[in-house]
């Protein structure tokens, strides 16, 4: 869910809703909301009255924000220090305020997003009228403290090791999968046990309200991509009276339980590979690895089967391209077709000739360049596992695994095995639920019909759950739409964020 550092780089490369608002100003907070407003709590006053000290950091400005580790006991002395970054409004005389964003994940750094040139994802209109403000959520990247789960340090033999299968079918394979999941939890507890209960999305949303106050904003303007939609939804439920405008692009449906969420994403990627087969010639041209959609499907099927038996050699590497790396390369290439399908096509063509080098390169890009502050893998696991209840019985996973394999093949199997990492975790989030956000003003949900990671039906569901949800549909391929879906999408989002213009029901770009 969401953008990893290489996905952010891909965004930068690619980028070279009938509801009445009765006016442009949201209704004032109700007396009940004001009474329950955390900003008025005496024990939170020192956090809510902070003023960030902005200093130049490259072409942007940076600062930090302190938030309590435990909002139930903010006076215990434990805090997170969150890095902040902003690009100030280009037209200060017409400045509306601050636009806070989250690029996704969970586990992605808003600071790194802007430092890596991600400001181009925002239109010139938005950059003129808003300070664009990013942050590293609690436990993520430059947050102090930051999550660390460490590598599995269990000693392994140096002989031949059976590659990890996408679908653990035998009793021994399932034992190994369970042991891997248990070692993941043990490593996270060893390195970050004290903060694990406090890295969930609800607490990150509370941090965002402290940020709102620190920025001097009475109400929040927000844009969230992918996992950022879950963070925005949580904020809307907790602080409905504090929302000015909110765009949720690439929506996560909070009503899905763990197995439904896994199946939803598996369906999305499965469909995206079919989209690749059907549209490869249009996007990648002569580079397509086969002459027909069926030919591409047959090639993929053959490569999955062959690499499961004997991995393909990779130049200048001690490792080979096994089924897991092949699957990673294919999955990663579904996010932004216009930028990634050509490279995938070259890699598949080489793999058909017995060379796994290019595909291994695509798979390895997920980790990005070595960066000591990038703990996105640990954060992805920790936040998801803390937020969403998962069963403790292995049989629940094997049952879901078998069903997922039948419906979505390797993508279904891999999604359930990934969820196994959350077995045994303490759960602190609200769990699956329909949105409850009385008083929330109109929120714009953006859904892409061919989105692999956050399938379109989740955007439809979230828009329906929100009290005044507006749905903007982008009829296209790839993950999320704003900043890559053309002027139709950008104009609708900009008009809403700047002037609070409603998007009519049924609007499609």
Instruction: List, by residue number, the catalytic residues.
Output: 226, 451, 479
**β-strands 97-102, 60-68 pairing:** unpaired
What is the phi/psi pair of residue 396, to 5°?
A: -65, -35
Strand partners, 132: 87, 99
Considering only CA atoms, give the Rg of the chain. Answer: 23
CA triple 166-167-168, angle to 5 deg: 115
Distance between CA atoms of 180 and 7, rounded to whole angstroms? Answer: 27
Distance between CA atoms of 84 and 107, rounded to whole angstroms? Answer: 15
Q: Other CB atoms closer than 10 Å to residue 406's CB: what's the count?
A: 10
HEC string of 448-488 equals EEECCCCCHHHHHHHHHHCCCEEEEEEEEECCCCCCCCCHH
b (16+ CB within 10 A) / e for 480-506: bbbbbbeeebbebbbebbbebbbbeee
Nearest Cα to Cα of residue 477 among 262, 324, 246, 277? 277
Structure tokens at 127: 């950059």
User: Residues 290-293: contacts with CB within 8 Å, 24+ apart?
Assistant: none
Upstream peptide bond of 145 is cis (omega within 30 degrees of 0):
yes
Sign of CA dihedral 121, 125, 126, 127: positive
What is the phi/psi pair of residue 97, to 5°?
A: 160, -150
């Amino acid at each position: 869910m969401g953008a990893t550092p290489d996905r952010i780089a891909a965004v930068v490369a690619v980028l070279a809703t009938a509801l009445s608002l009765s006016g442009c100003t949201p209704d004032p907070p109700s007396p009940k909301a004001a009474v329950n407003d955390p900003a008025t709590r005496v024990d939170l006053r020192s956090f809510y009255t902070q003023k960030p000290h902005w200093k130049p950091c490259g072409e942007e400005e940076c600062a930090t924000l302190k938030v309590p580790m435990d909002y139930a006991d903010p006076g215990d002395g434990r805090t997170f220090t969150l890095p902040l970054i902003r690009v100030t409004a280009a037209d200060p005389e017409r400045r509306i305020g601050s636009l806070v964003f989250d690029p996704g994940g969970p586990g992605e750094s808003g600071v790194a997003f802007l430092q890596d040139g991600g400001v181009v994802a925002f239109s010139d209109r938005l950059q003129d009228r808003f300070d664009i403000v990013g942050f590293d959520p609690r436990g993520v990247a430059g947050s102090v403290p930051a999550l660390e789960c460490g590598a599995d340090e269990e000693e392994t033999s140096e002989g031949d090791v059976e590659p990890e299968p996408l679908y653990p079918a035998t009793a021994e394979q399932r034992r190994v999968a369970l042991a891997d999941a248990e070692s993941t939890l043990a490593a996270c507890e060893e390195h970050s046990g004290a903060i694990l209960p406090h890295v969930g999305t609800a607490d990150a949303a509370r941090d965002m309200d402290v940020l709102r106050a620190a920025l001097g904003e009475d109400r929040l303007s927000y844009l969230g991509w992918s996992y950022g939609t879950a963070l925005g939804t949580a904020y809307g439920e907790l602080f409905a009276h504090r929302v000015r405008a909110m765009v949720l692009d690439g929506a996560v449906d909070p009503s899905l339980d763990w197995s439904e969420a896994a199946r939803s994403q598996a369906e999305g990627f499965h469909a995206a590979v079919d989209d690749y087969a059907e549209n490869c010639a249009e996007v990648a041209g002569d580079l397509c690895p086969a002459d027909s959609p069926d030919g591409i499907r047959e090639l993929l099927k053959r490569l999955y089967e062959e690499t499961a038996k004997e991995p393909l050699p990779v130049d200048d590497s001690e490792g080979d391209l096994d089924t897991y790396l092949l699957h990673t390369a294919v999955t990663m290439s579904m996010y932004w077709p216009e930028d990634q399908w050509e490279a995938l096509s070259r890699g598949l063509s080489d793999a058909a000739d017995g060379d796994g080098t290019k595909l291994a390169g695509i798979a390895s890009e997920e980790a990005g360049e070595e960066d000591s502050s990038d703990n996105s893998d640990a954060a992805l696991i920790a936040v998801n596992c803390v937020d969403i209840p998962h069963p403790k019985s292995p049989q629940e996973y094997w049952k879901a695994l078998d069903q997922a394999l039948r419906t979505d093949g390797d993508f279904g199997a891999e999604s359930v095995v990934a969820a196994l990492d959350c077995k045994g975790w303490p759960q602190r989030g609200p769990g699956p639920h329909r949105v409850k956000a009385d008083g929330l003003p109109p929120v714009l949900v953006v859904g892409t019909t061919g989105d692999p990671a956050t399938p379109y039906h989740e955007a439809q569901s979230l828009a329906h759950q929100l009290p005044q949800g507006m749905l903007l549909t982008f009829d296209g391929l790839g993950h999320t739409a704003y900043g890559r879906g053309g002027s139709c999408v950008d104009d609708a989002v900009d008009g809403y964020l700047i002037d609070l213009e409603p998007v009519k029901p049924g609007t499609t770009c």
